[in-house]
Amino acid sequence: MKLLTTFIISLIILFIPLSSQGWDLMDDFFFEYSEPEITLKTGSLKLFWSANTYVPYGYKGRRLATYESKVAIDALLEIIGENPKSLKYSWFLDGIFQESKSGYGRDDFEFWVKKLEGDFHTVLLKVFNESRSFSTEESITIPIFAPELAIYSKEGDWVNLPYSTAIKDSNIFAEEESSFLALPYFFDIKSLWDLEFRWVFANEVYKESSLTANVFGLKITNKKVGGSLEQILKVVATNIRRPGQGAEKAIKVNIY
């Protein structure tokens, strides 16, 4: 029996070429083959947010989030050894899992602001692969602001106004025409057509609803000679689409 076993083993060895490939085949024959393990490494997970609120032409800052505006968040994951789109993204808004907006490759997230000014929303993102051998997470806080109005005073070219500084007071001269421009920031609107402007000067109300309603022309006549006169100019803007959203701004006007 031992002779027969020895003979069979000898035949197997004889039929395997004595080369590097042959030894590889023998290794596969005697040892179990295993897949090489892919190591996942992450450099960083960053979240970037933006709001869809209105800003005037030329504004270069961040669009702030206000009540009932929409916020969009994009995730940027730097990873080696895996396609970011093949990973699972789990989004949480204020600690509540957003199942319908989570899933494989879901690297962006949107939500509507439901909190008022002074408060904030917190968004948490967890990213992991199928086997959970890799996972990372990052959170971000989005503060909520109120819409704002800024008043500008300028003669001539209105286009360059967004690059200038808003005024807190203005000096004008009687019998001369002056113009003031109110620019809205961070309203949940598509255009100025969605806002109703109401100007108040010397306790007189001037309501405008046209596309140029944010422009107020002023000319003081029959002023008494000598000295200066101080009045308050105020503008109130109301969102027609969302009546609860509005802002106001007042400046001091010195009349000479």
- CATH number, domain at 168? 2.60.40.10
Based on the domain organization, do 170 and 248 belong to the same domain?
yes
Based on the domain organization, do 189 and 135 belong to the same domain?
no
* pLDDT surpasses 60 at 22: no
Give the C-alpha separation, 21 to 17, whole Å: 8
* pLDDT surpasses 60 at 28: no
Which domain, by its residues, includes 209?
148-255
Based on the domain organization, do 105 and 199 belong to the same domain?
no
Last residue of a domain, one of 118, 145, 172: 145
Give the C-alpha separation, 138 to 92, whole Å: 11
Based on the domain organization, do 139 and 159 belong to the same domain?
no
Can you tell me which residue has the tokens 């968040």?
Answer: 73
Q: What is the pLDDT of residue 9?
A: 35
Task: Confirm whether 11 is domain-assigned.
Answer: no
Measuring CA to CA, which residue among 108, 95, 105 is closest to residue 46? 108
* Dihedral sign, Cα of residue 61, residue 62, residue 67, residue 70: positive
Task: Confirm whether 18 is domain-assigned.
Answer: no
SS3 track for 102-137: CEECCCEEEEECCCCCCCEEEEEEEEECCCCCCEEE
The total number of structural domains that make up the chain: 2
Residue type, 187: F
User: 17 CB contacts (<8 Å, ≥6 apart)?
Assistant: none
Task: Confirm whether 165 is domain-assigned.
Answer: yes
Last residue of a domain, one of 129, 145, 161: 145
Strands 169-172 and 148-153: unpaired
Q: Say if pTM beats, i.e. exceeds, 0.85.
A: no
pLDDT digits (tens, 9 = 90+) for 40-85: 555 689 999 999 999 998 888 899 999 999 999 999 998 887 888 8
